[in-house]
Amino acid sequence: EKLDKYYEKTTDTAAYVIAMLLDPTSKLTYFKKHWPSNLLNDVLACAENVFEQCYNELNQSLALS
């Protein structure tokens, strides 16, 4: 229960999630193996939000130039 509480806090900061997903040795494997499925969904949602935000910012800056 205590560990789940801290796992939930890591999705509050996208940097941890993105760093783990971009690590070529683990990617999503670590999350699938060690995290409960409900928190895995939070990880995926966090990553999707970050990449969507970056994509939109990049797209916007390209449109302005």
pTM of the model: 0.69
Nearest to 11 by CA among 20, 23, 2: 20
Check if the beta carbon of residue 19 is closer than 8 Å to that of residue 51.
no
Tokens describing residue 8: 């939930």
Condensed to tens digits (0 to 9), the pLDDT of residues 10-63 reads: 767 888 888 888 888 888 898 889 888 888 888 889 899 999 999 999 999 988
Tens-digit pLDDT profile for residues 38-50: 888 888 898 999 9
